[in-house]
Structure 1
Amino acid sequence: MEESNNRRKPTKKKVVAVVGGGLVGSLNACFFAKRDFVVEVFESREDIRKAKIVKGRSINLALSHRGRQALKHVGIEEKIVSKGIPMHARMIHSLLGKQSPIPYGKKGQYILSVDRANLNKELLTEAETYPNTKLNFDHKLLDWSEETGLMTFARSDGSTEQIKADLIVGCDGAFSATRKQFLRRRLFNYSQTYIPHGYMELTMPPINGEFAMKPNYLHIWPRNTFMMIALPNLDKTFTCTLFMPFEDFEKITTGDGVIQFFQKYFPDTIPLIGIDALKRDYLHLPAQAMVSVKCSPYHIGNKCVLMGDAAHAVVPFYGQGMNAGFEDCIVFDELMDQFSEDFSAVLPEYTRVRVPDDHAISDLAMYNYVEMRAHVNSRWFLFRKHVDNFLHFLMPKTIIPLYTMITFSRTRYHEAVKQWHWQNKVINRGLVLSTTGAVLGGSYLLIKNPPNINKLIINAEKMWKSLVTLSTS
């Protein structure tokens, strides 16, 4: 038997072409390289590790459990975590300047503020450590064939290049060139939604070499129809992002108008950002758009599959865009184990498993914008947070806060949403029944023993007042 094994001819390794050298593309290259495929990464931009100016989005990212598990799988979790800043809670800034923390989870649970560009550079460098991986920059995908796997790329010098692959993995963002081939097919569902709100980034510099605010928080200034957030950076700055309807952005056209707006809604940030810097940064670039993309299926035959923003671009309000994209890599890798790397079985199963989850997190991200800019101002919202956390403490396997399921576990997104809806019904009914029970019990005692009901009412009032006070503290 051993002799016959030695006589076998070596099989030709399959070529996997990863289109897009961003976060998900470069991580995916590591996953496929670990499986000993020949991996070719094609990125339309220049190598960002050598670029003087990195083009593209610069919103800070919140790395959480799903993303960390993917990084752990390729052995670089600790390296990335060491370059992030833990954020244990939201820090809510009222109009009067009062700061109130809302913890993300139990003690010890946190999300990490990481720099997008630095993370991308680290992932590209890690992918390059595999001898079976080649990074190709300045390669813009023009077209590809589902029959042959032949891809045509344009170069900046006007030339074109053709490359053939056994599997094409489209990780080329919300405006994916890989996805164009899908749009030509029957029964491909696709939707693209721009929200009426844009975003603008501002920088809060260090003060005397230290952070201008407490660093281990995601700071939020909720103003009901708009908001500003701030995430800490390793250089002791904060990246502040203002999210607001485009029509409101367009009303502010002068430096004086910028300061008047901030004096009205974010007065505590003016001395921290600086008047001149605030005027300069606000008027430097127009507000940027945010798009949500849903599609299905994610694959064509056994030749091509979409991952990351190419399959499911989401708005940034749940901090799950990158984490969901990284989890795509884990899910696909788990299916590769399950189906012995048979692309014809893995790709359709990946679509079946992943589509409902990605659509669920897309909807949650939309919902969470309302929560961040408005609900956090509500006493009922804060009270329910305390109730949910208390019940989670009493029944940790039965009642689990939605944010905990999404951010600190790998519970499937769509199952987390189902659990959340069920929990809301149970808890709301429980609150109604407990209140009704107190009223009915009080009525009975009033008939049987009038003095006792007065004591009961007084105690009930004290209890609810203490709960409301607790929820707003």
Structure 2
Amino acid sequence: MDNAQHIAIVGAGLVGCMLATLLARRGHRVSVFEKRQPPSDSAASGRSTHLVISTRGWRALEAIDAGPEVLPATTPLNGRRIHPADGGDELFQPYGQDGQAIFAIHRNTLNRILVRLCGRTPGVAMHFGRQCVGVDLEKGCIELADAQGEQREVVRADYIFAADGASSKVRELAGADGRIASTRTLEPFGYKEFTMHAPHATALAADAMHAWPRGAVSLFAFPNPDRSFTATLLAPFEGPDSFASLRTREDMARVFAARFPDVDPAPFFGELLGNPVNSLVTVRSAPWTLAGRLALVGDAAHAMVPFLGQGMNAGFEDCMVLVELLERHGDDFQAALGHYETLRKPHGDAVTTMSSAAFDELTRQISEPGFHLRKQLERMLHRLYPERFVPPYQLIAFTHVPYADVLHQIGELDAVTDELLRHADARSEQAATVESLIHSVISRLPRGNHADQTH
């Protein structure tokens, strides 16, 4: 390749490996630097162990031919199974239409696959145990050190990509003079993850994410291929029933008995008490590109809380947009980076906003009858007006409609369902009556501009 460039990528996580593989397959020389050691074969990490792959993520994985290795390690999820606080029958909420599913996978499993694929891609050199300690954009250099801060080296690259996560060192160093503004919002809630091994999870159906929404202290569980479940206990850092007060088996037993009586915590006490409490953070940054040489991707640009399941998918979409811009501009990185932020930042901001809103939905709203009624109305609107109204999560998980367009459509859909709920008690009305009301309300509303759902 005549215009091959040397690219330095800091971060060998999911997004860093994805971008490195895509760029190397275009003929560029890529050096990847990661402060940690290569991911181990151990699945347990106690932190951020579960991800979901939606349509946006699969598009990127298929672009690097990762599907055959990734798919067998996933578990398809058709929806949520809600466990009510009153101990009643669980409620199933589908994610999309019949046959549609998102796919759960262990973060460490996926990272191992992508590191392996990346490392065997011609043109990629991977360097573990090397942390970034300096950035000089004028010279196009990054300074690296080993874990002890010794054995330093300076590497020159034509272009630098920061894929080193929410606490990006590259973003911090490059923006130390104020050229990059970033806000880092730490939520007052944390989470612990633990494993429900198969013998202790026989009552849980393996076709869905299970949720015990109890507000500030909630529980979620994702199935694994071996029929175990990876569970997440959410709680405040401080106050009653906070992680600060959940220090003994008796403390945990009391909280589970009061909030999740159908789950016996005894088999999980070791992990519940021993695993770390992890933080939930939101990061917004601007600009995403600097000096025509540096670009932020994934969490380094737009970290979000995990309740929408789109952090990784959005990061992969960043990578796809970058390579599409390179294709459009004949691998002219200056031109591609000039358009990257303009095209992506509105959608990064939108998915971050939607992820924060999903926190309230998953911990509080989904346990309320009014929420289920609203979702029923959304599905009915979609059935009657399939091109005009699509349930938001269906757009997010099963299409490539840009995130900012989805956020706009959420506002439009909320306005219509609010209007319907004001006109009738849809709980007691016959379906035909509700359909008639829907047609009447829609006929009085102006028709806005809608994104092409096949985009």
Same fold (TM > 0.5): yes
Per mean C-alpha deviation after superposition, the further-off stretch among 287-296 and 248-257 is: 248-257
Matched position secondary structure for 1:242: strand
Aligned to 1:160: 152
| Per-residue CA distance 1:134-166 (angstroms, 9 max, x = gap) | 111111111121111111110246211111111
Q: Which runs of 5 or more residues in structure 2 are unaligned?
A: 435-455
Matched position secondary structure for 2:244: helix
Is this contact kept in 1: 2:33–2:128, CA < 8 A?
yes
Is this contact kept in 1: 2:191–2:278, CA < 8 A?
yes
Q: What is the CA RMSD across the aligned residues, in angstroms?
A: 2.3
Are 1:30 and 2:21 matched, yes or no?
Answer: yes
Distance 1:23 1:108 in 2: 27
Matches for 1:197-208 after TM superposition, within 5 Å: 197-207=189-199
Matched position secondary structure for 2:190: strand
> Once the 2 structures are TM-superposed, how far is the Cα of residue 11 of structure 1 from its aligned partner?
3.8
> Once the 2 structures are TM-superposed, how far is the Cα of residue 52 of structure 1 from its aligned partner?
6.5
Q: Match of 2:141, as an amino acid?
A: L
CA 54–304 in structure 1, closer or farther in 2 if over 3 Å, else same: farther
Could you tell me which of 147, 156, 168 is aligned with 1:176?
Answer: 168
Distance 2:182 2:393 in 1: 28
Are 1:291 and 2:281 matched, yes or no?
Answer: yes
> Once the 2 structures are TM-superposed, how far is the Cα of residue 363 of structure 1 from its aligned partner?
1.2
CA 225–154 in structure 1, closer or farther in 2 if over 3 Å, else same: same
> Once the 2 structures are TM-superposed, how far is the Cα of residue 25 of structure 1 from its aligned partner?
0.5
Is this contact kept in 2: 1:205–1:212, CA < 8 A?
no
| Per-residue CA distance 1:288-331 (angstroms, 9 max, x = gap) | 21111000111112211010111111111000111111111111
Could you tell me which of 370, 376, 379 is aligned with 1:386?
Answer: 376
CA 211–24 in structure 1, closer or farther in 2 if over 3 Å, else same: farther
| Per-residue CA distance 1:84-108 (angstroms, 9 max, x = gap) | 0001010001121521111111001
Distance 1:431 1:230 in 2: 32
Is this contact kept in 2: 1:58–1:117, CA < 8 A?
no
| Per-residue CA distance 1:101-139 (angstroms, 9 max, x = gap) | 111110011111101011001001111222211111111
Aligned to 1:136: 127
| Per-residue CA distance 1:377-429 (angstroms, 9 max, x = gap) | 12111111111111111211100111111111111111110111112213322
Is this contact kept in 1: 2:196–2:268, CA < 8 A?
no
Distance 2:421 2:247 in 1: 49
> Once the 2 structures are TM-superposed, how far is the Cα of residue 183 of structure 1 from its aligned partner?
2.1
CA 13–389 in structure 1, closer or farther in 2 if over 3 Å, else same: same
TM-score, normalised with respect to structure 1: 0.86
Q: Which runs of 5 or more residues in structure 1 are unaligned?
A: 1-9, 439-459, 468-473
> Once the 2 structures are TM-superposed, how far is the Cα of residue 56 of structure 1 from its aligned partner?
7.8
Are 1:150 and 2:141 matched, yes or no?
Answer: yes
Matches for 1:74-153 after TM superposition, within 5 Å: 74-95=64-85, 96=87, 98-153=89-144
Aligned to 1:18: 9
Could you tell me which of 398, 406, 424 is aligned with 1:408?
Answer: 398
Aligned to 2:449: none
> Once the 2 structures are TM-superposed, how far is the Cα of residue 48 of structure 1 from its aligned partner?
1.6
Aligned to 2:430: 463
Distance 1:66 1:184 in 2: 33
> Once the 2 structures are TM-superposed, how far is the Cα of residue 280 of structure 1 from its aligned partner?
1.9
Distance 1:264 1:63 in 2: 33
Could you tell me which of 67, 70, 74 is aligned with 2:57?
Answer: 67
> Once the 2 structures are TM-superposed, how far is the Cα of residue 16 of structure 1 from its aligned partner?
0.7
Are 1:254 and 2:248 matched, yes or no?
Answer: yes
Distance 2:53 2:165 in 1: 18
Q: Which has the larger radius of gyration?
A: 1
Structure showing the higher helix proportion among its residues? 1
| Per-residue CA distance 1:438-466 (angstroms, 9 max, x = gap) | 9xxxxxxxxxxxxxxxxxxxxx9553899
Is this contact kept in 2: 1:69–1:77, CA < 8 A?
no
Is this contact kept in 1: 2:47–2:276, CA < 8 A?
no
Is this contact kept in 2: 1:301–1:347, CA < 8 A?
no
Matched position secondary structure for 1:75: coil
Are 1:228 and 2:224 matched, yes or no?
Answer: no
Q: Match of 1:231, as an amino acid?
A: F
Distance 1:370 1:55 in 2: 26
Identity %: 32
Is this contact kept in 2: 1:328–1:354, CA < 8 A?
yes
